Amino acid sequence: MTDDRIRLAFDGPIARLTLKRPDKLNALDRAMIVALARAAEAIEDASDIRVAILSGEGKAFCAGGDIAAWSNLPPLEMWRDWTRVGHRAFEALARLRVPLVAALTGHAFGGGLELAATADIRIAETGIKLGLPETGLGMAPGWSGTQRLVRRFGAQVVRRMALGGRMFEAEEALALGLVDEVVEAGEGLTRAEAIARAIAARGPVAAQIVKSMINAAEGEDSDAPIEALAGAFTATTRDLGEGVAAFNDKRPPHFEGR
């Protein structure tokens, strides 16, 4: 981790990823986005982690991309750096090996909602709002707001936010499937923790495979899960051991088909 505004902590089987820029409503600049990607990599590398919690300090979960960080970028720089770096980070979070639970203890706007959408389960506190205000600034959502959000929440919901500027309060968001539960103010992290511990108590291999298969069905990442499962299956066979032994012994393999 290279940015103290992104904190990653491990607690037994749970990874806690926290945005720590409350004075700017946890708005993301480039360094924070890179740190998010590195945090996702660290979670992937921690073999004993079974679930992760994503949250933000202060009044907002995340207000999106910091306008000061992108508003003066030339068009090509916006495309090849800002948008693409954000996509890499958010894809890494959405495709984490372990389930991700987001605690929305404050508003999630624009890139903040796109960040929340990378989670498998979202807990919202009453009183918060969610929306995609980008077109009001003359720009389009850049971190999969028109792609992942459509796949996960439906095109019409995204149209109402992205085209109409509609902001949904927590209870409305629950009815539309944008969030999975609504709890009282101050209880979001506690509830996310309870859900994370319930997930961590289940079979970790099964939970991770199920998450991967759901992602594949949703169109999040179809190639890697299929090939990963194929690789895991072949690793259980005697044929693999024979093939490796034959290679090392420089002889033809004698496969048994089991």
Q: Which of 239, 138, 126, 124 is nearest to 179 (CA)?
A: 124
Token pair, residue 22, equals 């409350």
Contacts of 127 (CB under 8 A, 6+ apart): 169, 170, 185
Residue 150: partners with Cβ closer than 8 Å, 6 or more residues away? 158
Identify the sign of the CA torsion 1, 23, 108, 171.
Answer: positive
- Asked whether 30 and 87 are in contact (CB, 8 A), the reply is no
Taking the C-alpha atoms of residue 20 and residue 22, their distance in angstroms, rounded to an integer, is 6
**Which helix H or strand E contains 160, and what residues bound it?**
helix 155-162
Who's near 201: CB < 8 A, 6+ residues apart? Answer: none
The structure tokens 């202060």 sit at 58
Q: Which residues are catalytic?
A: 114, 134
Residue 255: what are its φ and ψ, rounded to 5°?
A: -75, 145
